[in-house]
Structure 1
Amino acid sequence: MQKHGFKKASVLLKKNIQKASESRGFAQSRVLTHWSEIVGEEIASISVPTKVSYKTDGLGATLTVLTSGSNALILEMQKEFMRNKINAVYGYNAVHKIRITQSSPIAVIKKNKISEGISSKQQTSNTEISASVENALKEVGDKNLRQALEELAINVFTKLENSSSSER
């Protein structure tokens, strides 16, 4: 027998977000968006996650990480640490193997700058949006509902802001 009533927005959107991420070859999108939080600033400053691929038998994924040639040995020594940190975030053995790929230091820096620029821009606009959303939803009594509505509103406003800035 099914329960009827309200559901969290995250529950309703999870499949759609996962499909969109999978279509881009990255089912665990959290690794991309929260790389520095997962592996730490030191490792994140010298590496960029680029792809997650799956075997046909479905036994864990392979995460491909881009780094410069001089940092490849450092990351090679940190593979197990990174894998444990990533799997701790998911709560299961999501990443079975990490593949280190090398590129020029300039390419790694550019990719890091792009991802840092996007996240810092989002954080600034999210802070402004969050303040106005929080003010608008202060009357909502249920803490979980208020938090879900805040997250939904922030995501909607951020998407609208990003789409309007890309049209310029």
Structure 2
Amino acid sequence: MTNDGPGPIPDESYRWSRKGRRMRGFEAASGLLKDRIRSAGESRGFAVTRLLTHWPEVVGEDLARVTRPVKVGYSKGAFGATLTVLVKPTDAPMVQMQLPRIRDRVNACYGYAAISRVTLTQTAPMGFAEGQAQFLAPPPVAPPAPPPEILAKAHETAEGVQDEGLRRALEMLAANVLTRRRT
């Protein structure tokens, strides 16, 4: 018997997509998690999962560092939903002033005026949902560059060294030492 088909029958090592086509290579992680994120989001009222997955892009980096969306509640007979946002008690007064901005940006994400109210729930960063809500610290600030006269003196100090890497390291060390003496 000859086999005129495309080849042997695929075994368990082949993966098949939902549409019946064979998947080739790696599958994107977002594709694997899309259904789980959607079901978790829908259980908390989020019709648009992008609000959960792209929160920093929706509200901005400054607000995303101190807030997390918790749920969207729909009341009977009223137009618009209520978005509940988690915030640390120390940041709540500043976030309270930003509520109209949050509402406008979330509605822009939905594409229409889906959210009519935004409420805050306050808790410690590790006290909500068994430590799952973690607020990010602000990015570290780079130290200011030393003045040009200190850089010139540091370059002069390491001038006789032939190895380029060692010379740069000695210049940095000299600049640090000279800067500390100055203050």
| Structure ID, larger Rg | 2
* Shift in Å, 1:72: 0.6
Provide the residue aligned with 1:27 in structure 2. 47
CA distance in 1: counterparts of 2:64 and 2:38, whole angstroms: 26
CA distance in 2: counterparts of 1:31 and 1:55, whole angstroms: 20
TM-score (norm 1): 0.51
CA distance in 2: counterparts of 1:57 and 1:17, whole angstroms: 30
The 5 Å alignment of 1:154-165 reads none
> Does the 8 A contact of 1:69 with 1:105 survive in 2?
no
* Shift in Å, 1:26: 2.2
Provide the residue aligned with 1:89 in structure 2. 109
Are 2:61 and 1:41 aligned? yes
> Does the 8 A contact of 2:67 with 2:135 survive in 1?
no
* Partner SS state of residue 77, structure 2: coil
Are 2:58 and 1:51 aligned? no
CA distance in 2: counterparts of 1:82 and 1:96, whole angstroms: 11
Q: Report the aligned-residue RMSD.
A: 2.7
> Does the 8 A contact of 1:48 with 1:67 survive in 2?
yes
Are 2:107 and 1:65 aligned? no
Q: Of 111, 128, 133, which residue of structure 2 is paired with 1:111?
A: 133
The 5 Å alignment of 1:145-156 reads none
> Does the 8 A contact of 1:61 with 1:95 survive in 2?
yes
Q: 1:99 to 1:27 in 2, by over 3 A?
A: same
Unaligned runs of 5+ in 2: 1-34, 137-183
Q: 1:53 to 1:82 in 2, by over 3 A?
A: same
Opposite residue 112 of structure 1, the aligned amino acid is Q
Unaligned runs of 5+ in 1: 1-15, 115-168
* Partner SS state of residue 106, structure 1: coil
* Partner SS state of residue 84, structure 1: helix
* Shift in Å, 1:113: 6.1
* Shift in Å, 1:28: 2.7
Provide the residue aligned with 1:79 in structure 2. 99
Percent identity between matched residues is: 40
* Partner SS state of residue 133, structure 2: helix
Opposite residue 96 of structure 1, the aligned amino acid is S
TM-score (norm 2): 0.47
* Partner SS state of residue 91, structure 2: helix
* Shift in Å, 1:18: 10
Q: 1:41 to 1:22 in 2, by over 3 A?
A: same
Opposite residue 105 of structure 1, the aligned amino acid is P
Opposite residue 111 of structure 1, the aligned amino acid is A
